[in-house]
Amino acid sequence: MLQYTTIGNPRPSFGAIVHHTDEVREYLYDSAPKSSGKLIEALAEAPKQGWHVIDMKLDWAQVYSE
C-alpha cells in the first residue's frame, strides 16, 4: 500500500508506518511478530522513500498528552 500510494505518484501523497513499540498500550511487534509480517524491510525502506515512521512509545505522547 505504501509503495502504491507514494512511489512514482505524480500527486501529493503521504506515507506513514505506525511502529507498535509500546506493549503497555498496544500489541508489541517488530522483527519477531507472533502472527503478522515483519517490519524490517519497511523500516529500512522508509527513509529512502520519504515515509514517516511513528514510534508509538516515543511519539504517541505528543499526540495524546496526559
pLDDT per residue as tens digits for the range 27-56: 666 656 555 566 788 888 999 999 999 988
CB 19 within 8 A of CB 56: yes
Give the Å distances, CA to CA, from 7 to 41, 53, 55.
16, 16, 22
CB 51 within 8 A of CB 29: no
Please identify which residue in the block is written with the cell numbers 512511489: 7
pTM given for the model: 0.71
Integer Cα distance of 60 and 27 in angstroms: 14
